[in-house]
Amino acid sequence: MNLSITARNYKAPDRLKKYLTEKLDKKKKMYEEVIDANIVLSYEKQVQVAEFRFKLNNKVLLVTEKSDDIFKSIDQALNNCERQIKKYKERRREHKSNKIVDNLEV
């Protein structure tokens, strides 16, 4: 997985980058189909935003979370990404199993 972390309007501290990479490494099996991961961290007035863009084989998942704490935004965004990736994998699995069943019926 190619990982790109960008901070807009500020310089992201090393502990924030380390936090992100640790979170992604813990869920490595979940993100094994992810080709590229682009993470954009930014401030909008008093709100801190984490935007995740995961590129899979034939799909792009985009999640944006806002909160008063950047770590909270990251956690929420990762939870949403995880949920979307699970849905994607289930749909692909169902589609493949339906295809096999259709071929057997013929």
The sheet with strand 2-8 has its strands ordered as 2-8, 36-44, 47-55, 60-67
pTM of the model: 0.81
**What is the span of the domain harbouring residue 55?**
2-105
- Each residue of 50-76: pLDDT tens digit? 999 999 888 899 999 999 999 999 999
Q: What is the pLDDT of residue 100?
A: 58
In this prediction, residue 80 has a pLDDT band, given cuts at 50, 70 and 90, of: very high
H helices of 5-69, in order, are: 14-26
CATH of the domain at 18: 3.30.160.100
Helix (H, G, I), strand (E, B) or coil at 68: coil
Q: Say if residues 34 and 63 touch (Cβ distance below 8 Å).
A: no
Beta strands 36-44; 60-67: pairing state: unpaired
Residue 58 is given by DSSP the state S
The percentage of the chain sitting over the pLDDT mark of 90, rounded to a whole number, equals 39
With a cut of 80, say whether residue 96 has pLDDT above it: no
pLDDT exceeds cutoff 80 at 40? yes
| Cβ contact 43:65 at 8 Å | no
Average pLDDT over residues 86-94: 85
Number of domains into which the chain is organized: 1
